[in-house]
Amino acid sequence: MSKAFTRETDTGDDDPEDAAVAVPGGKNYITRAGYDRLRRELMSLVDEERPKVVEAVHWAAKNGDRSENGDYLYGKKRLREIDRRIRFLTKRLEIAEVVDPSLHHGRDQVFFGATVSYIDGDGQEMTITIMGTDEADSTQGQVSWVAPVARALLKARVGDVVPLAVPGGTQELEVVAVRYPAPAG
């Protein structure tokens, strides 16, 4: 059967981005800055990049045999990638729950958005910020709220010792400091 008559599924069986949409409890906690960044990316894809690629594919389609037309084939592939990313971002934004970490400013208990300093089982002090799954950047010391270390630390208070399951068994983490961003205004 011609590929033109096959339907691309929206189930995402072979799409790792679609698989990443599922989050525990159906929640997608995210900060306002993270939400705004995802929204800007979505709008850029819809309003700028996709129309440019559609125009290029349309131009390439006019140039004859599509089966040997590299511009056409690459353009169609790029269009599928853009559409996949648009679907992913749309799904993520639909289930997003924007959380303002500054609401906890001055508290010593760990919640979403906290910057937590803790001492690990080896006696090393580590500092992480608990962020949304779509905005956490490990190179910046940020971890997703669903990461095992974040799950272990959530709701702990300064001075608490919490267990963390690690491949070699269990490690104890001692919370030494909790900070939140100051409220705006």
Average pLDDT score, the chain: 87
Tell me, what's the pLDDT at 62? 84
At 131-180, the pLDDT tens digits run: 999 999 999 999 999 999 999 999 999 999 999 998 989 999 999 999 99
Q: How confident is the model at residue 6 (pLDDT cuts 50, 70, 90)?
A: very low
Q: Which residue has the tokens 């002090």?
A: 125
Tell me, what's the pLDDT at 22? 54
Contact 109, 121 (CB under 8 A): no
Range(s) of the chain covered by CATH 1.10.287.180 = 26-98
Residue 177, Cβ neighbours under 10 Å: how many? 13
At 111-129, the pLDDT tens digits run: 999 999 999 988 999 999 9
Residues making up the chain, counted from first to last: 185
Range(s) of the chain covered by CATH 3.10.50.30 = 101-179
| Ramachandran angles phi, psi of 180, nearest 5° | -130, 155
Pairwise pLDDT comparison (107 vs 69), residue with the higher score: 107
Q: Inform me whether the pLDDT recorded for 12 exceeds 50.
A: no
Q: Inform me whether the pLDDT recorded for 66 exceeds 80.
A: no
Q: What is the fold of 26-98?
A: Helix Hairpins (1.10.287)
Rounded CA-CA distance 86/109 in Å is 37
Contact 32, 47 (CB under 8 A): no
CATH architecture, range 101-179: Roll (3.10)
Q: What is the pTM of this model?
A: 0.77
